[in-house]
């Protein structure tokens, strides 16, 4: 695209945001992702996988951040 950056970290961020740099594509919904973690979350939503379980009540979640938020409510 012709952009230049002083810091390598800014270039890396730019590449992640650039739509051409999204190597992870969901076959279920067609969305593309620059990070594997976002792709994995998308796949869990489609498959129904919920590997994070609350030890107090047994409710399960597809993302660890949702479990953390849930645990604050106990």
pLDDT given at position 22: 79
pLDDT given at position 60: 97
For CA atoms 70, 68, 37, 9, the dihedral sign is: positive
Give mean pLDDT in consecutive 10-residue pieces for the chain, a chain of 74 residues. Answer: 87 77 89 90 96 97 96 93
pLDDT given at position 51: 96
pLDDT given at position 19: 65
pTM above 0.85, yes or no: no
Q: How far is it, in rounded angstroms, from Cα 39 to Cα 25? A: 7
Q: Which domains does the chain have, with CATH numbers?
A: 8-72 (3.30.160.60)
pLDDT given at position 12: 84
58 burial level (CB within 10 Å; 0-12, 13-18, 19+): exposed
């Amino acid at each position: 695209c012709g952009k230049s950056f002083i810091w390598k970290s800014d270039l890396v961020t730019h590449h992640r945001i650039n739509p051409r740099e999204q190597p992870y594509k969901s076959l279920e919904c067609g969305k593309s992702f620059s990070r594997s973690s976002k792709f994995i979350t998308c796949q869990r939503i489609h498959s129904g996988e919920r590997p994070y379980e609350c030890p107090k009540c047994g409710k399960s979640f597809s993302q660890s951040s949702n479990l953390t938020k849930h645990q604050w409510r106990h």
